């Protein structure tokens, strides 16, 4: 399914809902392999990274921030690291996972909504007619988000997302989405955690779409997830209090919203920030302008063989999701932000099935 | 200064700003006393609590939640404890500390605003004419909040609050406000932290008014503070990015807003919640209706000799701040929420000067 740019780009801003998913991490590793991996891990905190400038930069930054004898030392309370999610920690092509969820959810709900057979934007979405959906603009997408992400309690939404993410499979890799996290980035998260960094997800995606599975998949607990959200209302439903999800956007955690979300949720400026698209530029700027030593990194998707290749920076295709523009590449070069080549920097992309 | 109820009650909702304060905790304790206290502390995690039902309830709850061999065990990831701030962790009479800050700030700014000499609500506030201020209603108070809490960067606001809180003294106790935290409650926070609880402040007060000093005073870091807030905007000021505080409320973390704020910020339901006024009722309800074992407690201010006495529950005076209504007392009795008598349950109120 080909999704027009305007549909896709707006989707990342609009899909601002939330819920749970049980990660399905199948790990069939022989005992001998575990021992071998542990030996490597003792020497190398980032075994899925190839030797190079980027791997060295991460290790040097962590060593220096944690070494109390040098001037770049940062006390643990201020060791804040923020990670975008889509395209930085897990796959975002051929479409954002949350958009796949929304479209699947529409299909599930369609039998209860015969009017969707003729009413837009639902007709177009159900028929996979992305061109018409694109022509219907932001208003059309907002209607889809509200039908699929609002009108239920937070507890019910959590169950819906958990059920979906346990069952859904990525169309190309035929694995659960929670399997398709980037092993090298998960290693970075754990390496930072072992060095008393506080790690946060700061994503344009819906906060309650991520929270159900981030603890298991990344070891990042719900309270350390920052994302887009819709409003909720505390009210009595059948004699019990519930938080009902309203059809109204509360916050869009993207672009200039990322520093705002970081301040609102964390209250401290990051010293390390990881992203992969134009939507992350302000988070990296905000980090770079802080008074402490800092590390800014962008994942560049240049590996169509093992994952995907898109830009349009570097002459790669200008696709619907995760735009890495030539402007962002320039900002990275001017600012000394590290650009990670998936193809060259990563020896492994996903953990083995 | 006597503050009409309507002014005061609205103030708690409206004062939705944020910043820093250096705690001034003077501790002149002889070495011998330290040794004695440590011996007691080993036996007793709550030395400032008198023996009784409430002290026993806290200790029994913590022991049971952390004992993996019993059915009330709660895994550390779900050990969420939330504390209201004003009147639960520190003094809130004769007025909320943040309101004292706002009124002082108006006086500081007055020379730059000669028009305030004749324009309301500023004239009334500067003259301490609370009756007129009350008659000007919510709109008047909102203007004062916006003049004192908005229009600057978050970094500048933090400096303003830190400076004020380092200098300001409580009118009755003549000590810095950050000295006037309740020693028994600080012991509860530390006791929970030692038992792998995650402790959060969930206050109607401004998030950025609390964050500068909660780590030092309570050992609660900025990212674990939930509160009311105003909107911020990421923009370039003199060639550098700043988060500018706008004259617009973002969120009021009071009453039914507390469960909403808890869900937005933490994403998990508390198993222990501590409050002291009608504004905390929904937080305690939300905690009580959770599937895990839970503990709900309300501080009742019945000690006019050592602190203040107010209700109107129990026939105590109906004052401007921290209303504990007969309705709340009934809710507590029906729900098995513990009501802490400051007079009877606490052997110490404040840490010694």
Q: Where are the beta strands (DSSP E) in chain A?
A: 80-83, 198-206, 225-237, 240-251, 272-275, 295-300, 338-341
Q: How far is A210 from chain B (nearest CA, A)?
A: 11
pLDDT tens-place string over residues B210-261: 999 999 999 999 999 999 999 999 999 999 999 999 999 999 999 999 999 9
Other Cβ atoms within 10 Å of B317 Cβ, number? 12
Mean pLDDT calculated for residue range A122-128: 93
Kindly state the DSSP code that residue A118 receives in the 8-state scheme: T
Burial class (CB in 10 A: 0-12, 13-18, 19+), A315: exposed
Q: Which of A264, A273, A279, A287 to mutate to test the interface with B (most CBs of B within 10 A)?
A: A264
Residue A320: predicted pLDDT: 80
d(CA A183, CA B66): 33
Q: How far is A286 from chain B (nearest CA, A)?
A: 7
Q: Is A331 on the interface with B (CB under 8 A)?
A: no
Q: Is B282 on the interface with A (CB under 8 A)?
A: yes
d(CA B186, CA B49): 11
Percent of chain A with pLDDT over 90: 81
pLDDT at position B24 over 80: no
Residue A255: predicted pLDDT: 96
Q: Which of A233, A267, A279 to mutate to test the interface with B (most CBs of B within 10 A)?
A: A267
User: Judged by CB atoms within 8 Å, which residues 23-82 of A form the interface with B?
Assistant: 77
Other Cβ atoms within 10 Å of A73 Cβ, number? 13
Q: How far is A266 from chain B (nearest CA, A)?
A: 4
Residue B181: alpha-carbon gap to chain centroid: 9
- The count of CB pairs under 8 A between chains A and B is 82
Tell me the C-alpha to C-alpha distance, in Å, between residue B162 and each of A82, A167, A171, A179: 26, 51, 54, 46
| pLDDT category of residue B130 using cuts at 50, 70 and 90 | confident
pLDDT at position B39 over 50: no
**Nearest-Cα residue of chain A relative to residue B268:** A222
Q: Which of A76, A234, A255, A284 to mutate to test the interface with B (most CBs of B within 10 A)?
A: A234
pLDDT at position A69 over 90: yes
Q: Is B267 on the interface with A (CB under 8 A)?
A: yes
| pLDDT category of residue B183 using cuts at 50, 70 and 90 | very high
Residue A352: predicted pLDDT: 84
- Quote the tokens at residue B328: 């709340």
pLDDT tens-place string over residues B42-75: 589 999 999 999 999 999 999 999 999 999 999 9
Residue B128: predicted pLDDT: 87
d(CA B21, CA B147): 20
Higher-scoring residue by pLDDT: A46, B143? A46
Angle made by CA atoms A82, A79, A269, in degrees to the nearest 5: 60
pLDDT tens-place string over residues A321-346: 899 999 999 999 999 999 999 999 99
Q: Is B223 on the interface with A (CB under 8 A)?
A: yes
Q: Where are the beta strands (DSSP E) in B144-209?
A: 198-206
Kindly state the DSSP code that residue A178 receives in the 8-state scheme: G
pLDDT tens-place string over residues A220-246: 999 999 999 999 999 999 999 999 999
Burial class (CB in 10 A: 0-12, 13-18, 19+), B174: exposed
> Which range (A5-9, A44-48, B105-109, B138-142) has the least confidence?
A5-9
Mark yes or no for CB contact A259/B267 under 8 Å. Answer: no
Mean residue pLDDT of chain A comes to: 89
- Quote the tokens at residue A263: 């301040």
> Do A281 and A271 meet the contact criterion of CB atoms below 8 Å apart?
no
| pLDDT category of residue A260 using cuts at 50, 70 and 90 | very high
pLDDT tens-place string over residues A275-288: 999 999 999 999 99
pLDDT tens-place string over residues B96-107: 999 999 999 999
pLDDT at position A33 over 90: no
Spatial neighbors of A247 by CB under 8 A, at least 6 apart, are A146, A150, A151, A230
Chain A residues lying within 8 Å of B266, measured CB to CB:
222-223
Q: What is the ipTM of this complex?
A: 0.89
Half-sphere exposure of A87 (CA within 13 A, CB side): 33
Mark yes or no for CB contact A234/B256 under 8 Å. Answer: yes
Residue A116: alpha-carbon gap to chain centroid: 30
Residue B14: predicted pLDDT: 45
Residue A145: predicted pLDDT: 87
Q: How long is chain A?
A: 353
| pLDDT category of residue B140 using cuts at 50, 70 and 90 | confident
Cα torsion angle, B207, B213, B215, B218, sign: negative
Residue A278: predicted pLDDT: 97
pLDDT at position B117 over 90: yes
d(CA B93, CA A280): 45
Chain B residues lying within 8 Å of A240, measured CB to CB:
289
Chain A residues lying within 8 Å of B260, measured CB to CB:
232-234, 243
Chain B residues lying within 8 Å of A207, measured CB to CB:
264, 267
Chain B residues lying within 8 Å of A215, measured CB to CB:
77
Spatial neighbors of B53 by CB under 8 A, at least 6 apart, are B338
Mean residue pLDDT of chain B comes to: 89
Domains in chain B: ranges and CATH: 5-345 (3.40.50.1000)
pLDDT at position A86 over 90: yes
| Backbone phi and psi for residue B290, each to the nearest 5 degrees, phi listed first | -75, 160
Q: Which of B153, B201, B220, B234 to mutate to test the interface with A (most CBs of A within 10 A)?
A: B234
Residue A130: predicted pLDDT: 80
Residue B131: predicted pLDDT: 83
**Which SS3 state, helix, strand or coil, does residue B245 take?**
strand
Chain B residues lying within 8 Å of A286, measured CB to CB:
234, 241
Spatial neighbors of A12 by CB under 8 A, at least 6 apart, are A86, A96, A204, A205, A254, A279, A321
């Amino acid at each position: 399914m080909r999704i027009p740019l305007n549909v896709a780009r707006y989707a990342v801003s609009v899909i601002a809902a939330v819920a749970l998913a049980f990660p399905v991490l199948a790990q069939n590793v022989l005992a001998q392999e575990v021992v071998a991996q542990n030996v490597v891990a003792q020497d190398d905190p980032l075994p899925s990274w190839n030797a190079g400038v980027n791997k060295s930069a991460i290790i040097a930054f962590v060593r220096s921030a944690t070494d109390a004898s040098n001037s770049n030392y940062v006390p643990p309370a201020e060791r804040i690291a923020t990670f975008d999610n889509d395209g930085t920690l897990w796959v975002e092509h051929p479409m954002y996972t949350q958009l796949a969820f929304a479209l699947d959810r529409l299909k599930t709900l369609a039998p209860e909504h015969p009017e969707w057979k003729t009413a837009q934007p639902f007709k177009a979405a159900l028929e996979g007619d992305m061109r018409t959906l694109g022509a219907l603009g932001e208003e059309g997408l907002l209607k889809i988000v509200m039908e699929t992400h609002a009108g239920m309690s937070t507890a019910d939404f959590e169950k819906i997302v958990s059920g979906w993410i346990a069952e859904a499979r990525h169309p190309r890799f035929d694995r659960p989405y929670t399997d398709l996290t980037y092993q090298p980035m998960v290693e970075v998260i754990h390496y930072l955690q072992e060095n008393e960094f506080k790690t946060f997800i700061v994503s344009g995606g819906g906060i309650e779409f991520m929270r159900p599975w981030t603890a298991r998949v990344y070891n990042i607990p719900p309270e350390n997830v920052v994302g887009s959200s819709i409003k909720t209302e505390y009210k009595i439903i059948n004699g019990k209090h519930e938080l009902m999800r309203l059809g109204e956007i509360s916050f869009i955690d993207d672009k200039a919203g990322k520093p705002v979300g970081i301040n609102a949720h964390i209250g401290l400026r990051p010293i390390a920030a990881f992203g992969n698209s134009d939507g992350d530029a302000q988070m990296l700027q905000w980090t770079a302008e802080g008074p402490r030593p800092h590390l800014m990194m962008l994942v560049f998707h240049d590996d169509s063989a093992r994952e995907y290749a898109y830009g349009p920076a570097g002459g790669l295709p200008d696709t619907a999701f995760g735009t890495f523009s030539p402007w962002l590449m320039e900002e990275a070069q001017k600012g000394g932000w590290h650009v990670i080549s998936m193809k060259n920097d990563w020896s492994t992309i996903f953990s083995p099935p």
